[in-house]
């Protein structure tokens, strides 16, 4: 197993090296110059030259690349050109906010999907099903920017119950009651399509289980419908729902970019948007490389997991 | 797989109810809601500001951003201050000043009761350091050329300074109004965004990139203790989110309301909209003279006659501004009403000019992608030009590329952008505002006559004297005759506040001033 893992690591490192070079090169090929973005329209050529030298952008391409790579090995992610500050600090703050938001959204989606699916299957009422179907369809069809603005309008403007955006002023832990209120609208907005998709899938999976012979037997033994669904059908329906949830997590992370904009949530999504528009090379480079690294590590773990579960893969790999 | 039994469900339900109750303990919105009005200035409270754009430490003195302007306006003082509606400088850190007859020096008496936030006394050495900082090209400050022309500093008296110039500078007071007085000893913190040590009414506390900037009251402020306890600037890049935030009680003041939002808020007694007419900005159509068609001045004049500035002012800027083809506001010494309206819409004249050209190729019109104001202006311009037989293709361009093309004077044909600096001494526009720069500009327009007029305006000892006025007349004639760009609308920032906020002020450069501001308790 260990030797299998060791064999896979060089290719993963190779991919990361190649990605680092491509990212570095591509950023310098796209139109737009960080010096222009920083200097402003009225700056003289003398100012531009001074800023370029100050940022080290007057050095040869290879020198800049090696210097950046060397910094990465020393865990020095560099200084942001335009946003300002240490790239590592920017990344940590943004990542914390994005993780809090996505985890909260995931929890909301999970709980809501579980509750609505169970209620729909246990009650099996025509009207209830129709209502839940309608909610699911809206949840799936409504784009995040529309649902976000709608939520703000209703819960922050017309009925000012919750903040319209921003993060808790004193951090997440100092005042949990306040933090929950700040999180509710953006997390619910992000959770909406995931809840709708998951709820629809879980409801169908539960109904499919209810048609199985073991359920008929249990029903004949006088087991109540609630117990049948919760104790017997749900455990068998959950594994496939977890697979769907795994796919939905990707949707969640992608959706976070938009939701962060709507709710002024300073996470990684808004950070990368800001960095790209200002041609803030050090920030964009690290964020793109990080996304590649996450993908590579996930692939590596998946391969290892599969090899662990299926010995044929290990053997095949040994040949 | 085990299924949670009834007790587990009950526990989950209890936890959910407990969380709901916990949430109900204190309302985040309730905590933000403003308090009752008392009518008289009172001390206390924090001003909560929503800003569109964050502080950019590496260009805090050069490029305008809401966050950067808040830092400059709140933390720093300048030597003199211009009122909104004139160029009659008022004392600030300088109590009096005298410009030499030949215009080659200025002597300033300085306040002797001023300290920086860290307790260090303010002296003439700080003035010297501040002007030298602005003269450093690295900071890309618009008045860098003027600052660089200050070559002598007599700092023998800590409370007076004499500045000497290598040429007469008619806009020296512009420089003294714009230069923030910084502290040499702590200046290294500025570029990192970790510290801003000034003499202003508020101390800089902390900056969280892409999130917020916080300030607290300077109790020892030389102009008297401010009323507010502090100012919190939140970065809210979406104008819609800003509008929702002020309505929900989250913010007291918006720095990024759209013209339409400002109009809506102005009709609601719960809000106030403050116009800062002295801090003017302009939207213009530029022409790249390297485009073979646009080399012919008749085509540029046809465009200038064809655009419907009044419609742009009404529809896009909701009537808040001035529709004119030159940048000077009526209070400027260079203002000439006839020249400013030379290109008032005249479709017949535009058609006549186009007919005289024979066939006109389709022209690209570039503007900032995703900017609703630029997009609306571009669509109106396109329709106006179509009326006179000029076809333009709209080309939205990403912001960073728009800058690159502007700086590289590399637009394909026409473009729409904004500029400022017409609110200062007229010489500042052709010397410091890039679209008008006589030596190098985005239109690739070079004219010895224009350069001479710009130089004469800059060298005039008295900015409103007869010599200067002759130079301004020359500049106006150059702009009207050559039309390398044509202004569409002169407008000013509109600040939205709740009616609980009073006495907010702004500099000509749109920097936030809150030293007299107060909040209802």
Nearest to B404 among A33, A163, A238 (CB): A33
Do both B133 and B238 map to the same domain? Answer: no
Mean pLDDT of B362-372: 91
B149: left (phi over 0), alpha (psi -120 to 50) or beta: alpha
Alpha helices in B36-106 (DSSP H): 66-75
Q: What's the total number of domains in chain B?
A: 3
Say if CB A157 and CB B247 are below 8 A apart. Answer: yes
Do both B140 and B217 map to the same domain? Answer: no
Domain end: B189, B214, B238, which one? B189
Tell me the pTM.
0.82
CB hemisphere CA count around B41 (13 angstroms)? 12
Do both B224 and B185 map to the same domain? Answer: no
Q: What is the pLDDT of residues B411-438, one digit of tens each?
A: 999 999 998 889 999 999 998 888 898 8
Do both B447 and B386 map to the same domain? Answer: yes
Say how far apart CA A257 and CA B392 lie, in whole Å: 35
A88 touches B at CB < 8 Å: no
Say how far apart CA B296 and CA B301 lie, in whole Å: 9
pLDDT for A31:
82
Nearest to A47 among B64, B140, B245 (CB): B140
Please list the residues that pair with B433 across neighbouring strands.
none
> Is B19 contained in some domain?
no
- With beta carbons under 8 A apart, name residues in chain B contacting A121: none
> Is B151 contained in some domain?
yes
Place B3 in a pLDDT band, splitting at 50, 70 and 90: very low
If one compares B2 and B410, the residue with the highest pLDDT of the two is B410
If one compares B326 and A166, the residue with the highest pLDDT of the two is B326
pLDDT for A36:
80
Q: Comparing C-alpha atoms, which of B28, B65, B66, B36 is closest to residue B49? A: B66
Chain B interface, best mutation among A31, A37, A43, by max B CB count within 10 A: A43
Do both B108 and B163 map to the same domain? Answer: yes
Do both B432 and B372 map to the same domain? Answer: yes
B429 touches A at CB < 8 Å: no
- With beta carbons under 8 A apart, name residues in chain A contacting B32: 163
- With beta carbons under 8 A apart, name residues in chain A contacting B211: 93, 167, 266
- Give the domain CATH number at B460: 3.10.105.10
Alpha-carbon torsion A114, A116, A119, A124, what sign? negative
> Is B169 contained in some domain?
yes
Residue B59 reports pLDDT greater than 90: no
| Cα separation values, B370 from A145, A249, B112, B409, Å | 15, 29, 50, 22
Tokens of B17: 């109810």
Contact between chains at B27 and A181 (C-beta distance less than 8 A): yes
Residue length of chain A: 319
Q: What is the pLDDT of residues B204-219, one digit of tens each?
A: 999 988 889 999 999 9
Q: Which domain holds residue B312?
A: 281-491
> Is B174 contained in some domain?
yes
A231 touches B at CB < 8 Å: yes
Place B334 in a pLDDT band, splitting at 50, 70 and 90: very high
pLDDT for A318:
45
Interface subset of B 363-392, CB within 8 angstroms of A = none
Say how far apart CA A27 and CA A57 lie, in whole Å: 13
Domain end: B127, B156, B189, which one? B189
pLDDT for A129:
87
Do both B248 and B270 map to the same domain? Answer: yes
Do both B386 and B350 map to the same domain? Answer: yes
> Is B24 contained in some domain?
no
Interface subset of B 129-148, CB within 8 angstroms of A = 136-140, 142, 144-145
pLDDT for B36:
47
Say if CB B252 and CB B500 are below 8 A apart. Answer: yes
pLDDT for B495:
92
- Give the domain CATH number at B156: 3.90.76.10
Say how far apart CA B339 and CA B80 lie, in whole Å: 31
The pLDDT profile of chain A, 319 residues, written as one tens digit per residue, is: 677 777 778 888 899 999 999 999 998 888 878 888 777 777 778 888 888 888 888 899 999 999 999 989 988 888 888 888 889 988 888 889 998 999 999 999 999 999 999 998 888 888 988 998 898 888 888 888 899 989 988 998 888 888 888 888 878 888 888 889 999 999 999 999 989 988 988 999 899 988 889 888 888 888 888 888 888 888 888 877 777 777 777 777 778 888 988 888 888 888 888 888 888 899 999 999 988 887 788 777 777 776 776 676 666 654 4
> Is B498 contained in some domain?
yes
A144 touches B at CB < 8 Å: no
Do both B238 and B331 map to the same domain? Answer: no
Min distance B415 CA to chain A CA atoms (Å): 14
Do both B451 and B351 map to the same domain? Answer: yes
Say how far apart CA B326 and CA B307 lie, in whole Å: 14
Say how far apart CA B315 and CA A45 lie, in whole Å: 37
Say how far apart CA A291 and CA A286 lie, in whole Å: 9
Interface subset of A 89-108, CB within 8 angstroms of B = 89-90, 93-94
- Give the domain CATH number at B238: 3.40.190.10
Domain end: B189, B217, B244, which one? B189
Do both B227 and B369 map to the same domain? Answer: no
pLDDT for B6:
56
> Is B8 contained in some domain?
no
Do both B332 and B459 map to the same domain? Answer: yes
Please list the residues that pair with B487 across neighbouring strands.
B284
> Is B33 contained in some domain?
no
Please list the residues that pair with B121 across neighbouring strands.
B115
Residue B121 burial (CB count, 10 A): 13
């Amino acid at each position: 197993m260990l030797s299998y893992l060791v064999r896979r690591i060089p290719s993963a490192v190779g991919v990361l090296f190649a990605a680092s070079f491509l990212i570095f090169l591509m950023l310098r090929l796209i139109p737009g110059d960080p010096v222009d973005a920083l200097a402003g329209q009225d700056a003289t050529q003398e100012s531009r030259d001074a800023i370029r030298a100050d940022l080290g952008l007057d050095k040869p391409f290879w020198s800049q690349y090696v210097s950046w790579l060397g910094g990465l090995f020393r865990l020095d992610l560099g200084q942001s050109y335009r946003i300002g500050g240490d790239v590592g600090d920017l990344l940590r703050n943004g990542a914390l906010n994005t993780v809090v938001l996505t985890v909260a959204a995931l929890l909301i989606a999970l709980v809501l999907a579980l509750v609505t699916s169970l209620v729909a299957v246990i009650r099996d009422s025509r009207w209830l099903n129709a209502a839940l179907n309608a909610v699911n369809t809206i949840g799936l069809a409504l784009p995040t920017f529309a649902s976000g603005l709608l939520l703000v309008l209703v819960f922050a403007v017309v009925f000012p119950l919750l903040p319209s955006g921003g993060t808790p002023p004193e951090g997440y832990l100092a005042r949990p009651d306040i933090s929950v209120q700040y999180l509710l609208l953006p997390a619910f907005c992000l959770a909406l399509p995931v809840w709708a998709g998951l709820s629809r899938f879980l409801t169908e999976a539960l109904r499919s289980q209810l048609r199985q012979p073991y359920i008929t037997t249990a029903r004949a033994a006088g087991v109540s419908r609630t117990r049948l669904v919760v104790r017997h059908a749900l455990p068998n329906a959950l594994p496939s729902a977890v697979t769907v949830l795994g796919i939905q997590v990707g949707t969640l992370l992608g959706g976070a970019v938009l939701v962060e904009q709507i709710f002024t949530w300073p996470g990684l999504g808004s950070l990368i948007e800001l960095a790209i528009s200002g041609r803030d090379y050090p920030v964009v480079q690290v964020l793109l490389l990080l996304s590649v690294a996450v993908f590579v590590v996930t692939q590596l773990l998946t391969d290892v997991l599969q090899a662990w579960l299926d010995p044929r893969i290990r053997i095949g790999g040994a040949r | 797989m085990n299924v949670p039994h009834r007790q587990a469900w009950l526990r989950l339900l209890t936890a959910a109810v407990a969380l709901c109750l916990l949430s109900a303990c204190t309302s985040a919105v309730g905590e933000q809601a403003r308090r009752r009005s008392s009518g008289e200035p009172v001390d206390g409270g924090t001003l909560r500001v929503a800003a569109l754009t964050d502080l950019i430490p590496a260009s805090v003195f050069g490029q305008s951003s809401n966050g950067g302007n808040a830092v400059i306006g709140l933390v720093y003082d300048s030597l003199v201050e211009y009122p909104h509606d004139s160029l009659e400088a008022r004392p600030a850190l300088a109590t009096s000043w005298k410009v030499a007859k030949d215009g080659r020096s200025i002597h300033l008496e300085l306040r002797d009761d001023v300290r920086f936030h860290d307790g260090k006394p303010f002296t003439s050495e700080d003035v010297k350091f501040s002007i030298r900082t602005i003269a450093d090209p690295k900071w890309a400050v618009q008045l860098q050329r003027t600052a660089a022309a200050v070559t002598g500093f007599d700092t023998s008296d800590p409370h007076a300074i004499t500045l000497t110039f290598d040429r007469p500078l008619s806009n020296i007071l512009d420089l003294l109004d714009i230069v923030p007085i910084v502290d040499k000893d702590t200046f290294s913190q500025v570029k990192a965004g970790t510290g801003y040590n000034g003499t202003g009414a508020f101390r800089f506390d902390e900056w969280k990139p892409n999130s917020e900037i916080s300030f607290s009251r300077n109790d020892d402020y030389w102009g008297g203790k401010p009323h507010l306890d502090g100012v919190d600037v939140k970065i809210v890049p979406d104008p819609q989110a800003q509008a929702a935030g002020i309505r929900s009680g989250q913010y007291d003041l918006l720095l990024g309301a759209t013209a339409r939002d400002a109009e809506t808020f102005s009709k609601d007694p719960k809000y106030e909209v403050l116009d800062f007419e002295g801090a003017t900005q302009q939207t213009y159509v530029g022409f790249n003279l390297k485009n073979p068609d646009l080399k012919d001045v008749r085509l540029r004049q046809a465009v200038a006659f064809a655009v419907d500035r009044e419609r742009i002012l009404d529809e896009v800027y909701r009537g808040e501004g001035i529709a004119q083809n030159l940048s000077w506001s009526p209070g400027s010494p260079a203002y000439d009403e006839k020249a400013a309206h030379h290109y008032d819409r005249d479709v017949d004249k535009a058609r006549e000019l186009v007919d005289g050209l024979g066939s006109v190729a389709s022209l690209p019109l570039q503007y900032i992608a995703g900017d609703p104001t630029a997009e609306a202006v571009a669509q109106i311009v396109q329709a106006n030009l179509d009326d006179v037989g000029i076809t333009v293709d709209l080309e939205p361009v990403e912001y960073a590329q728009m800058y690159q093309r502007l700086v590289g004077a590399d637009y394909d044909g026409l473009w729409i952008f904004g500029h400022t600096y017409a609110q200062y001494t007229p010489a500042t526009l052709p010397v410091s505002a890039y679209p008008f720069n006589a030596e190098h500009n985005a239109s690739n327009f070079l004219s010895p006559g224009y350069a001479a007029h710009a130089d004469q305006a800059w060298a005039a000892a008295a900015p409103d004297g007869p010599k200067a006025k002759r130079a301004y007349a020359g500049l106006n004639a150059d702009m009207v005759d050559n039309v390398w760009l044509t202004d569409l609308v002169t407008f000013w920032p509109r600040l939205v506040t709740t009616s609980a906020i009073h006495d907010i002020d702004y500099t000509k450069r749109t920097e936030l001033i809150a030293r007299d501001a107060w909040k209802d308790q």
